[in-house]
Structure 1
């Protein structure tokens, strides 16, 4: 806890120790940004809990179709070993055996699906991804979707809006306030409803507090989750940025943990 609030990091990437540093370097090169940490689970827990984080939503997207099973097995093992971790598995929409991959994900009792269109090189609204969305929608599990990129429009908010129209019961968390670097477009295109939520990850360092408050007001504090995007940002610094927003006590409690608890509770019924 910090400042009297229970805190969940709703967006944390983790990797097996033997590849964590290499994987984190790859993310750093992809975004041309330095990483604060190295992507190891123990490091996340040590630094996050020292900063006051109580719970972590962990994930790791598969950049190739062959990685899906091993990543999901790793994430399930982390959730089993650490009760303070909730794990979202991964799928790749272009896998020939996506149905088998999804069956494995469910058998491992993973709580959702993490997709990263820019890492995985697919447009969100590619019809080839529709069978995957249909399976996920039928299961009731939520997707944590990376949103926004300066170099491509694979994860542009307009593509997500298209998918949401095609799949009216698909439950989804639009990361980075719905579009990293495309916050104005996300604000104009995306509207919260009973199935669409937003996280704060990788947004607080780039936008002034007044712009963050406008996004929270537009999407509704009841629809937003606090996320750090480990290993990218420092936990203490991200929490300092969040509390500097000057939100109400109720908004803080909702965004820092209560909203995600409720959203995942619905998913796990």
Structure 2
């Protein structure tokens, strides 16, 4: 889609569903120097990607915000994540400032298994963080690392969700997959987890986890698009569970780091033919309920 066609499709999509707004819980806004490094990695087809990944919305921050709002997105996230120690606290400071100057962004924070993690997570919670991002694949750590025990306990008690990239797509690593998450939930059964990318490619196994734990949700990020379907297709036999868990699935786009148009992410959901009510839940109602967005 061209930019104009993309906007037209998204506008028509919202109008058909009677949605005044979309809630996108998987978007990336980062310090500019970090975002540039991420884009360079994606466009060079780094080893954790396995293929070329051009960025469709490679624009300055204010342009990206204007684009997202132009699509009718009225609440979104600034998902930041460290790939090594001594980054998370600094990223949290940046994202707190970003949320303060960007009222439609849900205050986002992150953490990493390191001494002091509990202290800066507690500070982020006190500052009003509403969602945390954890990237097991990029960070290369077990989510049950002992250095995170206090953090998980704190987040369980606070009831603040953690959006976690823990599936093995696009390239699996030692600690990706459903087993570490199942083990974590054995220890902290009341955690609010949002499984990024529907847990791709271990879709069925993560749906099993959702079935077993009421506090676990899924996000649609990149799933069902031509880009993902060409490599990690969603199993046709699980369509029934998509419908059944319609109130546990949240729309995410990965904007701006997607190799296709924003409209295609929504079209990929629409062509599942799961109905308008399902689309309204996924694209707005579930996230609005999860984050108390009564006025969105």
Q: What is the TM-score of this pair, normalised by structure 1?
A: 0.87
Q: 2:116 aligns with which of 59, 83, 97?
A: 97
- Does residue 11 of structure 1 match 2:36? no
Q: Deviations over 1:31-82 (max 9, x none)?
A: 1322223375424322222333222122111222211122112111221112
Q: 2:153 aligns with which of 124, 134, 150?
A: 134
Aligned residues: 263
* SS at structure 1 position matched to 2:87: helix
**Matched residues in 2 for 1:193 and 1:99: separation?**
25
Q: Is the 8 A contact 1:142 1:172 kept in 2?
A: yes
Q: Deviations over 1:204-228 (max 9, x none)?
A: 222368847445135x100000000
Query: Partner of 2:90 in structure 1?
Result: 70
**Matched residues in 1 for 2:206 and 2:159: separation?**
24
Query: Partner of 2:143 in structure 1?
Result: 124
The range that moved more, 185-194 or 243-252, is 185-194
* SS at structure 1 position matched to 2:77: strand
Say if 1:244 and 1:48 are closer, same or farther in 2 by CA, change over 3 A: farther
**Matched residues in 1 for 2:60 and 2:79: separation?**
12
- Does residue 169 of structure 1 match 2:196? no
Post-superposition offset of 1:188: 4.3
**Matched residues in 1 for 2:109 and 2:255: separation?**
16
- Does residue 216 of structure 1 match 2:237? no
Q: Is the 8 A contact 1:13 1:59 kept in 2?
A: yes
Post-superposition offset of 1:250: 1.9
* SS at structure 1 position matched to 2:163: strand
* SS at structure 2 position matched to 1:10: coil
- Does residue 83 of structure 1 match 2:103? yes
The range that moved more, 189-198 or 231-240, is 189-198
**Matched residues in 2 for 1:229 and 1:119: separation?**
15
**Matched residues in 2 for 1:237 and 1:40: separation?**
22
Q: 2:290 aligns with which of 254, 263, 268?
A: 263
Q: 1:49 aligns with which of 48, 69, 74?
A: 69
- Does residue 252 of structure 1 match 2:279? yes
Say if 1:91 and 1:99 are closer, same or farther in 2 by CA, change over 3 A: same
Q: Is the 8 A contact 2:223 2:234 kept in 1?
A: no
Q: 1:115 aligns with which of 124, 127, 134?
A: 134
Say if 1:210 and 1:42 are closer, same or farther in 2 by CA, change over 3 A: farther
For structure 2, the 5+ residue unaligned runs are 1-10
Query: Partner of 2:211 in structure 1?
Result: 191
Say if 1:170 and 1:183 are closer, same or farther in 2 by CA, change over 3 A: same
Q: Deviations over 1:163-211 (max 9, x none)?
A: 111102211111111x222223323454264311110002122236884
**Matched residues in 2 for 1:188 and 1:87: separation?**
30
For structure 1, the 5+ residue unaligned runs are none
Q: Is the 8 A contact 2:29 2:77 kept in 1?
A: no
Say if 1:152 and 1:131 are closer, same or farther in 2 by CA, change over 3 A: same
Which of the two has higher C-alpha Rg?
2
